[in-house]
Chain A
């Protein structure tokens, strides 16, 4: 019940296309859903996050869509650019829990072809 399942494992998108990465969870106590972006040789960095009181959050070309009833959330990257090529991790936590450790998905390696 603590798992976060992420798909696909890898994704190739043409420049200008839309990249979509999906995550699913089981624990209904989760109330914080961040996405992390990791470039080669770097640690993951927080990209965008959402709480379940909204169904969508947009920051520039990056959008999180959240479906509470389906227990799913997804990252959409509009107008994908070669500079977006990175590994993306979704995560979830119960922020009201004792310490709110993040549970990470296994990651998606995105390659954007010029």
Chain B
């Protein structure tokens, strides 16, 4: 069963900590995405990547960075966690071929920063 796996379902971190959220996909997809989901705000794109070592800023990149050293793995990094980064974080992947745009999402990581 093909899937996107996020390493943690729940995380609690302290303000100022460096936080790593990991995402792995087994579908050989070129594209990977990180979103945060907050009530009433929907899915907001943080960063995305079209290829290994490539990254592009999404709509809300401030306070975040990403790393993609291998095709199947895309990491989201909170350099210095703050309480306003408490949220649900969703990873997704997709094929890059034109006309094929369906995303597969992971189950999410609910991060609480205290």
Question: How big is chain A's contact interface, by range?
Answer: 20 to 34
| B107 and A106 contacting across the interface, CB-CB below 8 Å | no
Which of B40, B50, B101, B108 touches A43 (beta carbons < 8 Å)?
A: B108
In this assembly, does B74 line the interface, its C-beta being within 8 Å of a C-beta of chain A? Answer: no
Q: Considering the complex, which residues of chain B in the window 21-71 have a beta carbon less than 8 Å from any beta carbon of chain A?
A: 31, 33, 40-43, 45, 48, 50
Smallest CB gap from A108: residue in B? B42
Which of B42, B48, B108 touches A42 (beta carbons < 8 Å)?
A: B108
Which one of B11-19, B77-85, B92-100 is at the interface?
B92-100
Number of interface residues of B (CB under 8 A): 24
Q: How far is the CA of A44 from the CA of B107 in the complex (A)?
A: 8
| B100 and A106 contacting across the interface, CB-CB below 8 Å | no
B-to-A contact residues, CB < 8 Å: 4, 31, 33, 40-43, 45, 48, 50, 90, 92, 96, 98-108
A-to-B contact residues, CB < 8 Å: 6, 9, 32, 34, 36, 41-46, 49, 89, 93, 95-97, 99-102, 104-107
- Known interface pairs A101-B33, A101-B45, A105-B42; 12 further A-B residue pairs with C-beta atoms within 8 A, sorted by A's residue number: A9-B40, A41-B107, A43-B4, A43-B107, A44-B105, A46-B104, A89-B43, A101-B48, A102-B101, A104-B42, A106-B41, A106-B42
